[in-house]
Structure 1
Amino acid sequence: MDANKNKSSFHQLKRRYAALLAVLIIGGTACAALLTLASPAKKTQPQDVQLPLVSSTPLVPIDHQTTLSLSGILKPAEQTDVAFELSGKIAWLNEAFIEGGIINKGDILARLDPFDYHTQLLNKQAELALAQAHLSEQIALADVAKKEWAHSPHVTELALRKPQVASARAQLKAAEAQLAQAEKDLARTQYYAPYDALVTQRDTGLGQVISAGQSLGRLVNLSYAELHVPVAQFERPFLPVLPVPNVKITAENVHRTGTLVRHTGQLSDTTRMAYYVIRVDDPYALHSAMPAVYFGQFLQAQVAGITLKNVLRVPQEWIKNDTFWLTSPQQRLVQYSANILRQEHNYIVLSAPPLSDHQVVTHLPDYPQTGMQVRNNLTHTQLAVKGEKQ
């Protein structure tokens, strides 16, 4: 009985092991089939890194001639208060001798009544004739005395009438001087314009009796004018040696030229600016076909300054916090401190860095960093040609 029970347990255990073995065989076969049917895994390919894109232009140092933009008010360079040196009555006035009138050099502005001075001239002519006659008389008497005293060993100069002759000569010279003075006074009854002039003031009228030195009016010189322009202290080092010719002067559609001639020697109390003077010849265009400019008119001037050697002239937006970016030959970003020399309009002039194999970045990526690898979209922007005047 026990033998049959043990035999039955053995068979059950044997069947369990056989079933487990079958399951393992089937599972292994299925795994092998799956591995065989499955496609081989693709190898992972490294992805290409997209480098930041920049734009740049060649770094080309230039010689740049600076330009100073100045402005000021046109003023008279010279003015004269008109006055006679004599007293008398105004007998005639030039029609142009009114405020705003233009007088040419040598034109008569006014005349005094010449009667008194003409009469004085005739009197001095008569006195001169008497002095000449008196001298002739004394010379004749001296000749007679010389003959009378020819054999006398002791004769005085008085006896020979030498003092009388000398006195007559002196009287003649005095008469000649008085006649010259009378002629001059008669000529001074007419006042001639000393230069081409604009009448800015008249203080007399026809028939008015004036005293010597009394003002008749005021003239300003139209031969040339002066444009007084302030120059900031930081701009003065860029001025060349004076005088500076061919200064371009503009006002609306008017174009003229002038010469920067001098410094006034003064600084403004408020702005501390220095004042310079630009000479403008024939401002009212009396002797040329150029357009006229007028006293009190606001004018702008462009002065050619000194030439800066080995510099860059770049747009202002390329400079940030006094630095700008370059790309090295290895296409890496390089940040460079800018030595800014001056600013002209929307451009910056700075010392060129000693990196001729680098390029100036005109367009940066969003977050630039020194040493960042970039790819360059080289532009064809030309900074300037060496020696070009900007």
Structure 2
Amino acid sequence: MKKILAILLPVIVLVVLGGGGSLLLNSLKPPVERAEEQPRGLSVFAEAAEATSLELKVNAQGEVRPKRQIVVAPQISGRVSFVSPDFVDGGFIRQGQVLVRLESADYELAVVRAKSGVASAQQRLARERAEAELALQDIEELGIEDTSPLARREPQLAEAEASLDSAKAQLADAQLALNRTAVTAPFSGRVRERTADLGQFVSPGQSLGTIFATDVVEVSLPLSDEELGRTGLPLAFQESEQQRGPKVVFSASVAGEPREWVGRVKRTSAAINPQTRLINVIAELDDPYGAGSDNGVPMAPGLFVNAAIDGRSVDSVVKIPRSALRGVDQVFIGDGPAGELHIRTVDVVYSTEDGAYVRSGVAPGELAIISPIQAAFDGMKIQVVERMPDGSLEPRTPRTTSMSSDSEEGSAQVASEGEGAPQ
């Protein structure tokens, strides 16, 4: 028994001393401060709104058509005896150029007959004048004072004068018909198509082909009422020296290359289209085959073009990113220092891929949130990171911490502060 006690007593003493020392050390250890991070909101990107002015644009599409286009047709009948080599599809023609000539033999004979009729009428008139003078002499010699017009041969003289006028009219008509055997171009331009050829017999009014003028082409651009208001044009607009039409930039792909032409709005159509409820704005381009061409490439009739119309100017607007616009008229604004989201209703003036322009609801310098947010509400806690114009990122919401005990947990919290920030 004494041997057992001799062995256990030192062990018991060591255990008691060790446990007591451990408790004493723990009681004397100062408490460790613990860093507790406040609950963090959703990290979002935002861009600053900026004050600017706006030049409105209206985009439309339309088909190019010549301002003047006619069907070439003869005013008389006859067989085609000549066709100009320029009177072909795509040919260039000049004003006054003979396009088609008809056989003129019959009309030349008609002129000869008419001239003969004039000569006969002139001879008859001369005879009647001589006879009228003789009748007046006889009346004077006989001393007759009260004579009838018939005795003075006045009706016969009037008839002879009328016959001469009729003969001259027939001569003019025959000469006119002879002149009309040559069908000439009333203006300079190009030939769209030709429908008659050498040797063909044609009737008055029959189509010989179609030509159009190349001095001006026009494009009819359908606009809605809102788009018309953006251009600043009245409903009944006609360009004048005092009121010039807005500039229009036409664009299209020709032979696989993009081309541009610059014209102007000249007028609006007389009425609103009852089917589409749109109004047509007529834009024109001068000299499309010359000075108005794009490096020699004309804006040819039949080409389908896009048109960008210069609209009115709007001052004192605020530009925000297009992706910041939520729905029709809402924007999420990030309050960086407070770390809160605010929902604003804005008055949108115009929006493009480059940005949205608002008249009210957002002040210059405020941060418009561009990140997608699910179930957003006013006052929602967020972490705002501003995207700068050069692409760099700047955090705008400060991070706050409170101190508590537990050294190991505090170290873990501090180490996790960088998690969840937007990249």
TM class by shorter chain equals: 0.7 to 0.9
Question: Could you give the per-residue CA deviations for residues 126-175 of structure 1, whole angstroms, max 9, x where no partner exists?
Answer: 22222223223222322232232233122111111111111111112111
Alpha carbons of structure 1 residues 210 and 276: separation in structure 2 relative to 1, 3 Å? same
- Secondary structure, counterpart of 1:199 in structure 2: strand
1:341 to 336, 339, 349: 349
Relative to structure 1, the CA distance from residue 113 to residue 363 in structure 2 (aligned partners, 3 Å threshold; closer, same or farther) is closer
Superposed CA deviations along residues 62-100 of structure 1, whole A, max 9, x for unmatched, are 442210122222234443222211111211110121222
Opposite residue 57 of structure 1, the aligned amino acid is: A
Cross-structure match for 1:235: 227
Count, aligned residues: 347
Question: How many percent identity over aligned positions?
Answer: 24
Give the aligned partner of residue 131 of structure 1.
121
> What TM-score, normalized to structure 1?
0.73
Segments of 5+ residues of structure 2 without an aligned counterpart are 1-19, 239-244, 391-423
CA drift at 1:217: 2.1
* Corresponding residue number in structure 2 for 1:277: 282
Letter in 2 for 1:223: D
Aligned ranges for residues 102-113 of structure 1 at < 5 Å? 102-113=92-103
CA contact (8 A) 2:50 2:319 kept: no
Return the index of the structure with the highest Cα Rg: 1
Q: Give the match for residue 359 of structure 1.
A: 366
Give CA deviations for 1:37-83 in whole Å, capped at 9, x if unaligned: 968779999989999897553552x4422101222222344432222
Do structure 1's residue 179 and structure 2's residue 171 form an aligned pair?
A: yes
**What is residue 250 of structure 1 aligned with on the other side?**
251
Q: Deviations over 1:187-231 (max 9, x none)?
A: 100001122333233222212222222222222333333323343
- 1:55·1:377 contact (CA, 8 Å) conserved in 2? yes
- Alignment match, 1:57: 48
Asked if the contact 1:195/1:222 (under 8 Å) is kept, the reply is no
Matching residue of 1:305: 311
Q: Structure 2 CA distance, aligned partners of 1:137 and 1:216? A: 49
Q: Do structure 1's residue 116 and structure 2's residue 110 form an aligned pair?
A: no
Q: Which amino acid aligns with 2:92?
A: I
**Residue-by-residue CA offset, 1:297-330 (whole Å, 9 max, x unaligned):** 2211110123335433332112233422446797
2:116 alignment partner AA: A
Aligned pairs for 1:143-158 (under 5 A) are: 143-150=133-140, 151-158=143-150
Gaps of 5+ in 1: 1-29, 382-390
User: For residue 259 of structure 2, what is the amino acid of its counterpart?
Assistant: V
The alignment partner of 1:96 has SS state of: coil
> What is the DSSP-based 3-state SS (H/G/I as helix, E as strand, rest coil) of the residue aligned with 2:199?
coil
The alpha-carbon distance between structure 1 residues 198 and 87, as it changes in their structure 2 partners (threshold 3 A), is same
Retained in 2: the 8 A contact 1:268–1:274? Answer: no
Give the secondary structure class of the aligned counterpart of 1:294: coil
Helix, strand or coil for the counterpart of 2:118?
Answer: helix
Say whether the 8 Å CA contact 2:323–2:370 is kept in structure 1. no
Shift of 1:342: 3.2
After superposition, what is the alpha-carbon deviation per residue over 1:250-294, rounded to whole angstroms, capped at 9, x for unaligned?
A: 22442212233323746485x765544322333333997753122
Cα distance in 2, alignment partners of residues 98 and 59 from structure 1:
60
Tell me the TM-score normalised to structure 2 length. Answer: 0.68
Q: Distance in 1 between matches of 2:196 and 2:60?
A: 40
What amino acid maps onto 1:248 in structure 2?
V
Q: 2:70 aligns with which of 56, 74, 80?
A: 80
Letter in 2 for 1:67: K
1:179 aligned counterpart, secondary structure: helix
CA–CA distance in 2 between the matches of 1:145 and 1:341? 95
Instruction: Answer with 165-174 or 359-368: which moved more.
Output: 359-368
Is 1:316 the equivalent of 2:306?
no
Any idea what SS the aligned residue of 2:208 has? Answer: strand
Alpha-carbon distance, 1:378 to partner: 9.2
- Which amino acid counterpart does residue 131 of structure 2 have in structure 1? L
* Contact 2:336–2:383, Cα closer than 8 Å, also in 1: no
- Provide the rounded CA distance (Å) in 1 between the counterparts of 2:330 and 2:40: 27
CA contact (8 A) 2:367 2:386 kept: no
Match of 2:397 in 1: none
Aligned AA (1:278): A
Structure 1 residue 110: Cα displacement = 0.6
Deviation (angstroms), 1:182: 1.2
